[in-house]
Structure 1
Amino acid sequence: MHGSIFNLLKRFVQTQYDHSTWLRLVELSGLHSADFAMDEVYPDAHIYALVGQAAEMTGIPAEQLQEKFGEFLVPDLMLVYKRYVQPGWGTLDMIEHTEDAMHGAVRRDAPGTRPPILHVTRVAEKELKVEYESERRMGALAVGIIRGLAAYFDETDEIEVTPLSNEHEEKVVIRVRQR
């Protein structure tokens, strides 16, 4: 997992709780450092340990924490990838172009990273089927990012996000519908 994700997770925990909670989370996760270099890639086991420990500490299921973290990520992701966003796009357009534009850029610019593969199909004018595929099994994060995109584009009341399969599988199907 890319170091930037760990740094955003750190900020998420500090925003929701405080810095001492982050330090305690890292310690209880068995990690040796609370700092992650932005341009390095870390073992996936680190993120699993942190999320698992956070779920244990808070009593909030890991999938729910991942969704909340996904929502939190969106403003930063949009800032980093704004050059790929066309004027006039909304949530559905953004999702349709994520794989080619944003994930393509990540694969090109950050060797060693493995963003999930998204197969997006426009089922109807206002409905997408998103097939998330990743050995990380973090479909809940994708659901959170989609909800975060709806908030970013001020479409929260218009966008319905429904996981159609278990969010903890390698392949997760998500329906995104605009009312």
Structure 2
Amino acid sequence: MHGSIINLLKRFVQTQYDHSTWLKLVELSGLPSADFDMMTVYPDEHIFALVGQAAIMTGIPAVQLQEKFGEFLVPDLMLVYKRYVQPGWGTLEMIENTEEAMHGAVRRDAPGTRPPILHVTRLSEKELRVEYESERRMGALAVGIIRGLAAYFDEADDIEVTPLTSENEERVVIRVRQR
């Protein structure tokens, strides 16, 4: 997992709770340090340990935590990738272009990273089928990011995000529909 994502998780925990909660989370996760370099790629086990321990500490299921973290990520992701966003795009267009534009840039610019693969199919003017594919099995994060995009584009009340398969699988199907 890219260090930038772990640092955003740190900020998420500090925003929702406080810095001491982050330090306790890292300690209970068995990780050697609470500091992560932004440009380093860390073993996926680091993020799994942190999210799993956070679920234990809060009593909130890991899937729900991943969704909330995904929503939290969006403003930062949009800031980083704003050069790839076309004027006039909304949530659906952003999702349609994520794989080629944003994930493509990540694969080119940050060797060693493995963003999920998204297969997006436009079913109608107002509906997408998103197939998330990753050995990390973090489809809940994708669901949260989609909900965060809807909020970012001020479409949260108009966008319905429905996982059609378990969010813990390598392949997760998500329906995104504009009302």
SS in 2 for 1:121: strand
Aligned residue number for residue 157 of structure 1: 157
Aligned residue number for residue 83 of structure 1: 83
Aligned residue number for residue 6 of structure 1: 6
Distance 1:124 1:173 in 2: 16
Q: How many Å apart are 1:122 and its aligned residue?
A: 0.1
Structure 1 stretches lacking a partner, 5+ long: none
Structure 2 stretches lacking a partner, 5+ long: none
Aligned residue number for residue 61 of structure 1: 61
Correspondence list, 1:124-163, <5 A? 124-163=124-163
Distance 1:153 1:146 in 2: 11
Distance 2:141 2:174 in 1: 12
SS in 1 for 2:172: strand
Structure 1 runs of 4+ aligned residues shifted over 6 Å read none
Aligned residue number for residue 32 of structure 1: 32
SS in 2 for 1:56: helix
SS in 1 for 2:115: coil
When normalised by structure 1's length, the TM-score is 1.00
Q: How many Å apart are 1:166 and its aligned residue?
A: 0.1
Q: How many Å apart are 1:61 and its aligned residue?
A: 0.1
Distance 2:47 2:14 in 1: 16
Aligned residue number for residue 96 of structure 1: 96
Distance 1:147 1:156 in 2: 7
Q: How many Å apart are 1:84 and its aligned residue?
A: 0.1
SS in 2 for 1:156: coil
Deviations 1:20-75 (A, max 9, x none): 00000000000000000000000000000000000000000000000000000000
The residue identity in structure 2 corresponding to 1:45 is E
The residue identity in structure 2 corresponding to 1:81 is Y
Aligned residue number for residue 178 of structure 2: 178
Distance 2:64 2:126 in 1: 26
SS in 2 for 1:169: coil
Distance 1:33 1:103 in 2: 28
Deviations 1:69-98 (A, max 9, x none): 000000000000000000000000000000
Distance 1:56 1:122 in 2: 38
Identity %: 88
SS in 2 for 1:60: coil
When normalised by structure 2's length, the TM-score is 1.00
Q: How many Å apart are 1:173 and its aligned residue?
A: 0.1
The residue identity in structure 1 corresponding to 2:5 is I
The residue identity in structure 1 corresponding to 2:94 is M
Deviations 1:95-126 (A, max 9, x none): 00000000000000000000000000000110
The residue identity in structure 2 corresponding to 1:80 is V
SS in 1 for 2:176: strand
Aligned residue number for residue 113 of structure 1: 113
